[in-house]
Amino acid sequence: MSAQANPQNSNVVALNNESHRNLTVVTKRGAEYGEATHLVPVVANELRNLVLEYPVCITKDPNNGQFSLCALLGFEPGENLYLQGENWDAQYIPMHMRRQPFMVGYRNPQAGPGEDKGALITLDLSSSRVRQEGGEGERLFDDEGNNTQFMQQVNDLLGQLMAGMESTTAFLKTLADNDLIEPAHINVQFASGEQKRYEGLYTVNEEKLQKLDADKLMHMHQHGYLHAAYWLGASMGQVRQLIQRKNQR
């Protein structure tokens, strides 16, 4: 999944320091800002932080077979067990959540390899985070049209996210090429007695990972994929914490 907008119900425009000079963006957490979701896309660069608090799994696009990384926030669509009103109960919040309502767009999306796509920052004006007349929230530009400190942080975040998406694609391709992706069989029993089985999520086959030949292991280690693969596998232990959150609700 890219850091680009869902075209439905969105009004995405290129960010402009003239026409958007007086806009503000609300940075609070909450369901009204689209944060009531059970899956959020993440990038491999985040795994070191994510695995301490979230189960992270691989998902597969049924249309094109493409793999993505996602953090599991709940067990049902629309259920974010980390969100309690305006409080996100975790030390680390995934970058895809923090970047809202900004995205990266391209002037020349059809550009070929090595050609400049012309990346630019876009803003979803229909987002409930955006305030047209200023007031609540963070300003993007000062009175002279310069980036505020908040906008500089957004720039940095989007840069990290775009680099992370590229490295994540390469990481998942390496896992797939080496047949290291397997279904994650998630069977849970809640305090109510209800039992559920979740399909369509994948993880790393650590047994096959350990049996890779030395050259492949060295390649994965040099690219940081070996750590990422083990973090990904280990994160599934957080499903127990997620069940506990569900039971406490």
Strand order in the sheet with 119-124: 12-14, 119-124, 102-106
Read off the pTM.
0.88
Question: Does pLDDT of 2 surpass 50?
Answer: no
Mean per-residue pLDDT of the chain? 90
Q: What are all long-range contacts of 72-77, with beta carbons under 8 Å and residues at least 24 apart? A: 72/38, 72/39, 72/201, 72/239, 72/242, 73/37, 73/38, 73/39, 73/40, 74/37, 74/38, 74/242, 74/246, 75/38, 75/188, 75/196, 75/198, 75/242, 75/246, 76/38, 77/37, 77/38
Give residue-wise pLDDT tens across range 11-53. Answer: 899 999 999 999 999 999 999 999 999 999 999 999 999 999 9
CA separation, residue 102 to residues 15, 63, 99, 129 (Å): 9, 26, 6, 10
DSSP 129: T
pLDDT tier at 6, thresholds 50, 70, 90 = very low
Question: Does pLDDT of 8 surpass 90?
Answer: no
Question: Does pLDDT of 166 surpass 80?
Answer: yes
pLDDT tier at 176, thresholds 50, 70, 90 = very high
| pLDDT at res. 106 | 82
For the ranges 98-112, 142-156, 187-201, 219-233, the lowest mean pLDDT is seen at 98-112
For the ranges 66-75, 117-126, 204-213, 233-242, the lowest mean pLDDT is seen at 117-126
For residues 153-179, average pLDDT: 95
Task: Say which amino acid occupies 226.
Answer: L
For residues 146-151, average pLDDT: 96
pLDDT tier at 9, thresholds 50, 70, 90 = low
Separation of alpha carbons 73 and 53, rounded Å: 10
**CA torsion, ordered 210, 212, 214, 218, to nearest 10 deg:** -80
Q: Are 55 and 238 in contact (CB under 8 A)?
A: yes
For the ranges 56-70, 109-123, 150-164, 229-243, the lowest mean pLDDT is seen at 109-123
DSSP 136: S
Please report which residue ranges of the chain form alpha helices under DSSP H.
Answer: 47-50, 95-98, 149-177, 206-210, 214-222, 225-235, 239-248
Separation of alpha carbons 123 and 10, rounded Å: 10
Question: Does pLDDT of 136 surpass 60?
Answer: yes
pLDDT tier at 134, thresholds 50, 70, 90 = low
